[in-house]
Amino acid sequence: MPKDRQQLLVGSLRRLVRRGAKTHLRRVLDKARSEDIAEALEGFLSAEARTVFHMLLEEPERAAEVASNFDHQRLEQLFQGLRPEQLKPVFDFLASDDAADIMAALSEEMRQGILDVLADEESEDIEELMQYSADTAGGIMTTDFFALDKEMTAREAIVALQENPDAELVFYVYCINEDGTLVGVISLRQLLLIPPATQLKVAMSSEVISVPVTMDQEQVAAIVARYDLLALPVIDDFNKLVGIATVDDVLDVLRDEATEDMMLMAGVGDEDIGARSTLRSVRVRLPWLLAAVAGGLGAAFLIGTFEDQLQKVAILAAFIPIVMGLGGNVGVQASTIVVRGLAMEQLDPHNFLTALLSELKVVLFTAGVCALLVCGAAMVMPGGYWQLAAGVSCSLFAVMVFGAFLGTSVPMFSHRLGIDPAVATGPILTTCIDLFGVLIYFMISMAWLEKA
């Protein structure tokens, strides 16, 4: 929904809830999409959100859609005051993977109460999915898939599909043998086009792209993107089909992983802000800030060692901020590109030279432009002369190249050592550029000034 219409929906719902106008509230809810309602409720106070959700319980399917799109960390607040029996119809409409994700976010007491009232098969599916780590293929897959015996004919397969409307996103029909082992796949389009009497084992493709339940969700997302799949079968250690990872879940993974990398590189952790206590936030952020303090103090110490030179050429101090700032910016740019490239498997972590040369081609040009501009500024500044301009511009060029080298090498080598590049890059980059940037600046500048 466009932003202006979403804001209108939020305002309308909040106004009607506060007025207690349930009839008008029902009309607005009937016209709105479930995804938009969920987004609107996330900005409401808990009591206001509960009022809307309790009204949605009259249509359990709508309530399930809203719950699956709502922030799972706040769902327990939304469910407060409801008995497990009232929530049962909602969970009956939830896909097994969504139900498992929601259950994992609830307290043990509420979770067990809901599981007790669900049908045995449904609760077993949910509990089975909850056993898998949330960041693996097993954690994002659904067990509501469509698989048929390879001996069936196309006619029998189509009838089976018509009799199974609850299957999740049937883009492919997976073919299994008598013990559930995945042996082939056929697209829905192919199934409709082959002669009705053709057996699936004749028309299916035996080259099935599948992933184990333990594979990291980021790798699952990369495989789906690489092969343009709409669903990906998930198998156990015995090659038995246990679930499918669908494209909607993969999109969520890509969004979450990108957000996680961004937050880790910024040094604020990878948890949802709303789910973290103040003390936890302090513990996550403080080490990064202490690394910056260490780098800053080291830079201050180095600057102090050049005190005599600064007294003679005080104008050198005026260029420290721009040299350090540009060196840091180049490092951040390079590291962001490399970290994202590694995450999306677009960069080979063992091919360091290729990545470095690619960044150096860019930074040599950008650093040259910046150095020329600073050189011109140093020439026209009061007290400026050509040796000063040459020293400052050459040191700026060197610091920017150093920043690009560091921004490329730190994430690459972190990845090869098994350390998350998003976590390691920030503090190392900040500290090293602070320390070595100052050193490079003064050494090159003073070398030129000695010629004056």
Q: How many domains does the chain have?
A: 3
The CATH number that applies at residue 375 is: 1.10.357.20
The helix/strand/coil state of 208 is: coil
Domain assignment of residue 268, yes or no: no
Name the band, by pLDDT with cuts 50, 70 and 90, for residue 268: low
CA 392 to chain centre: 40
Q: How far apart are CA 411 and CA 389, in angstroms?
A: 34
Of the three residues 73, 107, 131, the one that is the final residue of a domain is 131
Do 245 and 281 share a domain, yes or no? no
Pick the closest to residue 250 from 344, 123, 173, 144 (CA basis). 344
Q: Mark whether 210 and 187 lie in a shared domain.
A: yes
Most confident range, picked from 170-174, 340-344, 370-374 = 370-374
| Residue 264 placed within a domain | no
The residues facing 174 across adjacent strands are 147, 185
What pLDDT is stored for residue 169 in this prediction?
A: 57
Of residues 28 and 6, more confidence is placed in: 28
CA distance 274 to 42: 11
Share of the chain above pLDDT 70, in %: 93
The answer to the question of residue 140 being in a domain is no
Give tens-digit pLDDT for 70-86.
Answer: 888 888 888 988 899 99
Co-location of 326 and 431 in the same domain: yes
- The average pLDDT across 191-216 equals 93
Region 202-223: what's the mean pLDDT? Answer: 91
Mean pLDDT of 11-17: 87
Per-residue pLDDT at 292 exceeds 80? no
Q: Which of 74, 96, 131 marks a domain boundary?
A: 131
Question: In terms of domains, do 294 and 434 share one?
Answer: yes
Q: What is the pLDDT of residues 99-131, one digit of tens each?
A: 988 998 898 999 999 999 998 888 888 888 888
Considering only 31-40, 310-319, 357-366, which range has the smallest mean pLDDT? 310-319
Show which of 84, 101, 131 is a domain's final residue.
131
Could you give phi then psi for residue 179, rounded to 5 degrees?
-105, 15
User: What is the model's pLDDT at position 205?
Assistant: 92
pLDDT tier, 166 (very low <50, low <70, confident <90, very high otherwise): low
Q: Do 205 and 165 share a structural domain? A: yes
pLDDT at 97: 84
Say if CB 324 and CB 437 are below 8 A apart: yes
379 and 297, same domain (yes or no): yes
Residue 108: domain span: 3-131
Does some domain include residue 139? Answer: no
* Residues 53, 78 contacting (CB under 8 angstroms): yes
Q: Which residue has the higher pLDDT, 251 or 150?
A: 150
Q: How far is CA 216 from CA 105, 320, 351, in A?
A: 20, 44, 23
Co-location of 206 and 249 in the same domain? yes
pLDDT band, very low/low/confident/very high, at 20 (cuts 50, 70, 90) = confident
- For the ranges 64-73, 354-363, 426-435, the lowest mean pLDDT is seen at 426-435
Q: Mean of the pLDDT values across residues 414-422? A: 80
How many whole angstroms separate alpha carbon 190 and alpha carbon 210? 20
| pLDDT at residue number 114 | 92
User: Are 251 and 278 part of one and the same domain?
Assistant: no
CATH number at residue 54: 1.25.60.10
Please report the pLDDT score of residue 215 as a whole number.
Answer: 94
210 and 317 assigned to the same domain: no
Is there a single domain that holds both residue 235 and residue 292?
Answer: no
Judged against a pLDDT cut of 60, whether residue 440 lies above it is answered with: yes
Residue 274 confidence (pLDDT): 52
Residue 137 resides in a domain: no
Return the higher-pLDDT residue of 291 and 175.
175
422 and 289 in a single domain? The answer is: yes
What is the structure's pLDDT at 414? 84
Angle between helices 247-265 and 421-449 (to 10 degrees): 40
Any domain includes 418: yes
Query: Is the pLDDT assigned to residue 276 strictly greater than 60?
Result: no
Residue 196 sits in a domain whose CATH number is: 3.10.580.10
pLDDT at 272 over 60: no
The answer, yes or no, to whether residue 397 has pLDDT greater than 90, is yes
Say if 9 falls within a structural domain. Answer: yes
Q: What is the mean pLDDT of the chain?
A: 85
Higher pLDDT, 280 or 53: 53
Residue 319 shares a structural domain with residue 237: no
Mean pLDDT confidence for 369-391: 85
- Whether residue 141 lies inside any domain: the answer is no
What size, in residues, is the chain? 452
